Amino acid sequence: MARSTRTASLDAPLGRGTRIGRAPQPSRDRFGRATEWIARAMGTPWFLVALTMFCVAWIAWNTMAPDTLRFDAAANGFTALTLMLSLQASYAAPLILLAQNRQDDRDRVQIEQDRQRAERNLADTEYLAREIVALRIALNELSGEVVTRETLRDELRALVEDFDARASGESADETAEREERRRKAERREKAERDARDR
C-alpha cells in the first residue's frame, strides 16, 4: 500500500485522522484445526516410529502366522499393506498443504499488523520530532538567543511536570503556584547567565 500524499500538519501525528481497517482473521473452523493437528502429528518422530512398528508387525504377522490366520499374503507382495500406505500418503499431502495455507494466512495477517504498527510508530516519531523543533523555535524567539541543551531540558522537564500535574488533577491554585516558582527560577538563572556573560 502506498502512503498518503497529503501535506503533513504540525499539530498531529500522521495517520491519526484515518481509521486503520481490521485485518481479516484466519479461519477458525474445526476441519482446519484438525488438519493442522494431523499435519503436526505426522511431522514427529513418534509418527515415523509408530508407522514403522505397524508395518513390521503387519509383515511379521502375514509371514509367520498360520496360513489360515494370514489376511495379506506375502506371495502377492503385501497388496493390502501397499494399498493402505498409498491411501495414507495420498491424504497426507493435501492435509499438509491445507495446514501450510492456514499458516500462510496467519503470517499474512501478522505481517499486516506489524506494518500498521510500524506506520503508527513512524507517525508518532515524526510528530514528536516536529514538536521538539517547534519548541526550539519558540524558545529561540522568546529568548532571542541560541537555545542550549540545558534550556531545552528545562523546558521539556517543565512540560513533563505540566502533564503530570494535569494527570494527577492538580487545582488551579497549585498550578499558579508552581508556575510562579518556575518563573522565579528562570529569572534567577537568566540573571546568573547575564552576570557570567559580563
Q: Is the pLDDT confidence value at 13 over 80?
A: no
> At which residue does the C-alpha cell 494527570 appear?
167
Q: What distances in angstroms separate CA 155 from CA 6, 136, 191, one per listed residue?
A: 32, 9, 17
Label residue 18 by pLDDT band (50, 70, 90): very low
Closest residue by Cα to residue 147 from 160, 130, 135:
135
Label residue 53 by pLDDT band (50, 70, 90): very high
> What single-letter amino acid sits at 110?
Q
Task: Return the pLDDT at 23.
Answer: 56
H helices present in 144-169, as ranges: 149-168
Q: Which residues of 47-72 are buried (b: 16+ CB within 10 A; e: fewer)?
A: eeeeeeeeeeebeeebeeeeeeeeeb
Label residue 115 by pLDDT band (50, 70, 90): very high
Task: Return the pLDDT at 77.
Answer: 83
Mean pLDDT of 48-73: 90
Q: Is the pLDDT confidence value at 12 over 60?
A: no
Counting every residue written for the chain, the total comes to 198
**Residue 35, Cβ neighbours under 10 Å: how many?**
20
Percent with pLDDT over 70 in the chain: 82
Closest residue by Cα to residue 5 from 15, 124, 127, 130:
15
Mean pLDDT of 92-109: 88
Task: Return the pLDDT at 7.
Answer: 54
Q: For the full predicted model, state whether its pTM sits above 0.85.
A: no
